[in-house]
Chains A and B, each alone.
Chain A
Amino acid sequence: MTVRIDRDQQGHAMDDALHDADAFDNLQVPLAALPDYRELAFEPVADGFRGYTVITTLIYWLPIAAAGAILNVIPDLPLLAGLLIPGGVLLLALLIGVYRWVDAGHRGWAVRAHDIAAKEGIYWRSVTTLPFARIQHVETSSGPIERWRGLARLKLFTAGGMTADLTLIGLRAEAADTLREHLAEQIRLRDALAPDTAGTGDADDPDA
């Protein structure tokens, strides 16, 4: 069996390979012809995400700054210390807020026919790619502020992990739901195609 892959047809060829039980045999694919993750066009995070970073930073740091300001009720506290403590906290909050604002612009996600990728990082930039074939389950979650801003996060779990292996934050709630459904469908398709593992996720399934 020979699978010929070129860039125009790579989606179909990958599909054939995936659905062919003998896909492991006799594959001769020039390395240069493999789909390249570097060519991905990443979707940016939702518009509301930057506002979300500002709000959550303020919610976290403002009470601390306020507590610092309250210190001024201590009678013998020097004025400089009374100003420096809340001022320092506010400055730190500002720096963190700016960092998170810029960081939001460097985040992105992309879905291909067989995997999902996420990029992040201002200085240390990384691209993480998780094939659908390895996803065990998918979930979306959103806190009260995320819901207010119309945002949600998508958590992807693989086997052997206690925590999510890949978390996409700053998605529009509708996009997160669509992605979750799409990925769940991919998992169902995969399980249907792999008879050795189909329906084996029943370890906790009583009277299955």
Chain B
Amino acid sequence: MTESTDTAGAERAGADWERLPTAAVIAMYISGAQKAVRENLFLFIGGGTGALWTDALGLRELALIALGLLLIGLLGTLIYHRRFRFLIDEEAIRVRKGLFEIKELKVRFERVQNVAFSQPLYLKPLGLTRVNLETPGASQTEVELPGVRNDEALALRDRVAGAHRQGPATDAPAAAGEGDPSATGAPAIFAPGFGDLFRYGMTSSQLWIILGVVGGPLAERVGDRVEDSVEWLEASGLVGVGDLSSAPWLAAGLVLGLVVLFIALGLVVSGLIAWVRFHGYRLTGDDDRLQAVYGLLDKREKSLKRAKLHSLEVVQTAFGRLLRRWHAVGHQAALDAMNPMNQDKRFLVPGIPGGRLERVTSELAGRAWSPPAFQGIHPRFRRILWQRVVLLPLLVALTAHSVLDSGPWWSPFAALAVAGFAALLIHFRWKRWGVHIGDNGLQIREGLVGTTIILFEDARCQQVKVTRSPYQRRHGLATLVIRLPHGEKTVPYLPEPLAAELANRLLYRIETSTAHAL
């Protein structure tokens, strides 16, 4: 939409269109800068490193470039803020925004599946809240109000909730929970304490991802530092470092101790991050929607229509198994749900103790739930992987060793150990994989050391695929691939008649359901 039509629209709409508060410029500027850095992280790192290495640019030039960029950003933000308008009526919100090209969005409240509030520290003194109205489908249809007054945000949230309650698809009576469940003191479904959140942080896979990314460069840097320290110690004469070479076990113990210390430190940091992020987590809900409020530095509030919840995932990571901790994720349709940048948009319930899993999951699912008996996949899954992934490479390695007669004497034993470990992992994978066929839905369990169980109703699926490899055809087996709005779920190596029966049932349920995927 062009500016001219924008002006015409404003005249037509009169004074109903609202502007963002002036203080929202700060919020827009900071969040814009954060977004720019986050989305161009590699460019920033690359550019920064390049600038440091080149002699052509001194510190003064770099500072000038940075200042120029910041000023351009500020100018852009000011224009964006000046042009930003929104209009809230009984059933929809309209937003008009854009820097060079003015775009107008209209989103009906009944289409909003998730209302998310966020109040970072810098917005608190300004009395502003960032509001995101998430709709199923494209990310550009998402409405973001970068900073509106707190009372306006709450009014908008209640208006969206009101639209949901009046919605034709909602069976729940409107009177059940008028207004804000948390504000009316509705009992919390789940409110984890410090210990629960800290343990969730320790068990989440986030730590290992961070370690994987920074581990390599960090290890190199730490290695250099250690070398320097060793030289310094040697030179100082305080410790005879040379003695360590005559005591290899002591040296190995020291290295192991350092590694354990490093991991322990990482676990503690990860636990603290989770505690700060989910501080005061409180999950409430009624028949119509779920709501979560949390955050120490960035106060967040998320609400999710139950009708839009298409599947529920309960997860226990490998570490979580040790500490008997689970977390749950409510999935809703989203354009790029697989994008790690959108992980924040998931409806996450962290730090569920094993003993409370059934109750919390039942509340989330809206019906009684307990871990069912899963039907495992066919043993041929394990056998074929053992044969092709373990046995075949092992035979090749052993044959090569004996024919070429090269390599250290222990290499066949190392190959055997690796093969044994791989075989064990395959066994774990096979043992964990299973499906439970309920009256109206399926539950699929998978994992290696940890466990993930996904629950969904048949009618929530998008697409069904049955695949058969030559090996599977010979043995009467098939793999069932079920596409849900947030991604695919696979159940491999089912007996072919069962896979076909499930596929037919899923299709029948989708096609006779009056519920829409969104």
Contacts and interface: CB of A to CB of B under 8 A. Distances in A.
A134 B517 contact: yes
B313 interface: no
Contacts of A132: 511
Contacts of B463: 128-131, 134, 158, 165-166
Interface size of A as a range: 35 or more
A202 to B, nearest CB: 6
Nearest to B332: A160
A129 B465 contact: yes
19 contacts: A17-B512, A21-B514, A23-B512, A23-B514, A115-B511, A124-B469, A131-B511, A132-B511, A134-B463, A134-B510, A158-B485, A160-B333, A160-B486, A162-B335, A197-B516, A200-B111, A200-B518, A202-B106, A206-B9
B507 interface: yes
A208 B467 CA distance: 44
A17 B464 CA distance: 20
Nearest to A194: B516
Interface string B52-91: 0000000000000000000000000000000000000000
A200 B108 contact: yes
Contact of A203 (B141, B459, B507, B513): B141
Interface stretch (B357-365, B377-385, B401-409, B497-505): B497-505
B507 A37 contact: yes
Interface stretch (A28-36, A49-57, A60-68, A141-149): A28-36
A133 B513 contact: yes
Ranked 6 nearest A-B pairs via Cβ: A203-B141, A196-B169, A160-B485, A126-B467, A206-B104, A17-B512
A126 to B, nearest CB: 4
Interface of B: 1, 9, 94, 104-108, 110-111, 135-138, 140-141, 167-169, 333-337, 459, 461-470, 473, 481, 483, 485-486, 500-501, 503-505, 507-508, 510-518
Interface of A: 14, 17-18, 21, 23-24, 27, 29, 31, 34-38, 114-115, 121, 123-134, 136, 158-162, 165-166, 193-197, 200, 202-208
B468 A125 contact: yes
Given A131-B507, A161-B335, 5 more contacts: A14-B511, A125-B467, A128-B463, A159-B333, A203-B106
Contacts of B335: 160-162
B438 to A, nearest CB: 14
A115 B106 contact: no
Q: Which of A27, A197, A206 has the most CB of B within 10 A?
A: A206
A206 B508 contact: no
B513 A24 contact: yes
B518 A34 contact: no
B507 A208 contact: no
Give the one of A27, A123, A204 with max B CB within 10 A.
A204
A205 B467 CA distance: 40
B517 A204 contact: no
Contact of B505 (A34, A125, A204): A34
B298 to A, nearest CB: 27
A129 B464 contact: yes
B512 A27 contact: yes
B510 A131 contact: yes
Contacts, number: 152
A128 B465 contact: yes
B337 A204 contact: no
A159 B136 CA distance: 7
Contacts of B513: 23-24, 133
Given A125-B467, A159-B485, A160-B333, A34 B508 contact: yes
Q: Describe B's contact surface by its main secondary structure.
A: mixed
Contacts of B512: 14, 17-18, 23-24, 27
A129 to B, nearest CB: 5
A133 B511 contact: yes
Given A127-B466, A165-B462, A208 B106 contact: yes
Contact of A31 (B94, B107, B138, B504): B504
A114 B167 CA distance: 27
B462 A158 contact: yes
B516 A196 contact: yes
Nearest to B107: A203
A202 B516 contact: no
Given A133-B517, A197-B518, A160 B465 contact: no
Contact of A36 (B469, B483, B500): B500
Contacts of B501: 31, 34
Given A115-B511, A133-B510, A37 B462 contact: no
A207 B9 contact: yes
A19 to B, nearest CB: 9
B9 A196 contact: no
Nearest to A16: B512
A206 B459 CA distance: 32
Given A37-B503, A126-B467, A196-B516, A160 B337 contact: yes
Which of B1, B110, B503, B517 has its CB near the most chain A CB atoms (within 10 A)? B517
Contacts of A193: 514
B505 A31 contact: yes
Nearest to B5: A206
A203 B105 contact: yes
B5 to A, nearest CB: 8
B9 to A, nearest CB: 7
Nearest to B466: A127
B345 to A, nearest CB: 12
A206 B93 CA distance: 11
Contacts of A204: 105, 138, 140-141
Contact of A202 (B108, B500, B515): B108
Contacts of B333: 159-160
Which of B334, B461, B466, B470 has the most A CB atoms < 10 Å from its CB?
B466
B64 to A, nearest CB: 40
A119 to B, nearest CB: 10
B461 to A, nearest CB: 8
A74 to B, nearest CB: 35
A111 B9 CA distance: 45
Contacts of A165: 462-463, 483
A50 to B, nearest CB: 23
Contacts of A124: 467-470
